[in-house]
Amino acid sequence: MTFDELRAAEASFHMPVYGRQPVAFVRGTGTMLWDSEGNEYLDFVAGIAVMSVGHSNPTVVEAVREQAGLLTHVSNLYYTEPQVKLAERLHDLLGWGKVFFANSGAEANECAVKLARRWQREQGRPGRAGLVAALGSFHGRTVATLAATGQPAKHEPFAPLPPELVHHVPLNDADALEAAVDDGIGAVLLEVVQGEGGINPATPEYLKAARELCDERGVLLIFDEVQTGLGRTGRWFGFQHSGVAPDVVTLAKALGGGLPIGACVAREAVADAFRPGDHATTFGGGPVPCAAALAVLDVIDKEGLVENSAAMGERLVTALTDALADVPAATEVRGVGLLVGIQLAGEFSREIVDACRDRGLLVNNVKPDTIRLSPPLIVTAGEIDRAVAIVADVLKARVA
């Protein structure tokens, strides 16, 4: 199928929910992708922060191949060893917790929201069904997680959303958070770095204030680490930079090495509020995605990718800041580890994405005025330097 045939078929048979770029990928290895025309690209999108150990990582490929040859699916009516091993592995990484496996980050967050309500009911506070989240946040596209997402433009096509579910407050405004957490609130849901919102880090002081407030008022603190978890920020979990630990953490994206899996991990006393039948999934935690996830965690650990993320992230931010210091088209570089954003002087981010792609670099536009760079954690210094040179050339040319 030629590219034109592929695009025509997609338009005829797929719901029109994606504004796809004019490229079809057919192969990937490490940090590189190749399209249907044979063109090569340095990938600084990584499947939206998913491909942390690179494309077609041989350890992950072999784990998937082996597990698929043994057992692919039996449902959660029965025990499977990969699921139990992965739950234990996540517990050990955090030092606490019991796990519910889903298929995505949105489903992991949905589980967290339901668990918070169930836990509050167990505490004798059934009226505490509300949630506080931050403006600019993104937590998913189910009805509940869309309601939690602090981006009104995403709400409008699907209004009305549950009005009693979520109250939104500005990120890093501790006073606004305190005012919002009243007797109807059961949980506070925060990203430690807002990814889709433009790469906006929560300050350590804000997270500490949130932790103290939740403890004082009997409210659960949930950290959405779907994008930041598992090494992306230069620590295993983004919250570790602040020293503030949540009651519940949600994970997905990088966990499956490209296979669909999400996880909601809650402290034991919270997790045990659930009863059989309270929550479930047919596919979540299946043998193949769990085998892939175990391989991903092995690669991150054995190859020192958390440390590489910290070092390469520092190199990326420093190099971009230096290269763009006198470029009017860019006003700020910000980020943590290998989750980096470039603030533009106007709403021309798609233009920059297209120009970078034409030069063999994939980046993406999370907002009309913001570019995101989230390469695989295996990225090298040479690849960082190459990407920075392309971005700088594109932004300089834009001004010219």
Place of tokens 């999400």: 262
DSSP string, 195-227: TTTTSEEPPHHHHHHHHHHHHHHT-EEEEE-TT
Q: Name the E strands within 67-197.
A: 98-102, 130-134, 166-169, 185-191, 193-194
Distance separating alpha carbons of residues 336 and 240, to the nearest angstrom: 12
Which of 101, 253, 274, 367 is the catalytic position? 253
**Token code pair at residue 17:** 């929910």
Sign of CA dihedral 140, 143, 145, 147: positive
253 is catalytic: yes
Which of 44, 100, 224, 367 is the catalytic position? 224
CB-CB neighbours of 51 under 10 Å: 28
Q: Is 15 exposed, middle or buried (0-12, 13-18, 19+ CB in 10 A)?
A: exposed
DSSP string, 31-60: TEEEETT--EEEESSHHHHT-TT-BT-HHH
Helix (H, G, I), strand (E, B) or coil at 108: helix
- Which residue, 195, 136, 220, 199, is CA-closest to 171? 136
138 is catalytic: yes
Phi, psi (deg, nearest 5) at residue 351: -60, -40
224 is catalytic: yes
**Token code pair at residue 94:** 């955090």
Distance separating alpha carbons of residues 175 and 173, to the nearest angstrom: 6
Give the amino acid at 211: R
**Token code pair at residue 265:** 């991990």
Which of 138, 237, 239, 274 is the catalytic position? 138
Which residues are marked as active site?
Answer: 138, 224, 253
